[in-house]
Amino acid sequence: MAPPTITVRVDNDLFGGRDQDQGYSNGMMVTAMSPNLIDYKDDPCLPRIAQRLNRYLDWLQPEGFEQLNMVVSFGQLLFTPDDKEPTHLIEHDRPYAAALLASIGYNARRGNDLRTTHL
């Protein structure tokens, strides 16, 4: 059984400099993509929980393609105001904010055609 492909994306003002992204301070996304699958529901490369979940998400899964992959991602985003000193609401600046992200998706390829669907 082939292992999944893991990718890690890191965004940070440290890399791009300040004042270039309207308050987006940093983010991170970790993605796991399965090896090529026989199908989305019974392939032994997928853990049982993924196989069970895929039975409910069949409406998202592309059909009639040669290569099939399942993709799962988790991440976070952080936003900060330009002026970090005030302790009161800054009316004309972005507030402090954060978001946790989760995504499940399917990739399918036939020749030069790629179809991707994600939730």
Read off the pTM: 0.80
Q: How far apart are CA 107 and CA 114, in angstroms?
A: 7
Which tokens is 81 given? 């105001």
Which tokens is 6 given? 């893991």
Residue 19: per-residue pLDDT? 62
Of the listed ranges 24-28, 48-52, 53-57, 89-93, the least confidently predicted one is 89-93
Residue 95: per-residue pLDDT? 81
Name the more confident of 21 and 74: 74
Contacts of 35 (CB under 8 A, 6+ apart): 1, 2, 3, 4, 5, 45, 69
Residue 18: per-residue pLDDT? 62
Start-to-end CA distance of the chain, whole Å, equals: 26
Q: What is the mean pLDDT of residues 57-75?
A: 92
pLDDT tens, position by position, 12-46: 766 666 666 667 788 999 999 999 999 899 999 89
Q: Does 3 have pLDDT greater than 90?
A: no
Q: What is the mean pLDDT of residues 70-76?
A: 97
Q: How far apart are CA 61 and CA 53, in angstroms?
A: 12
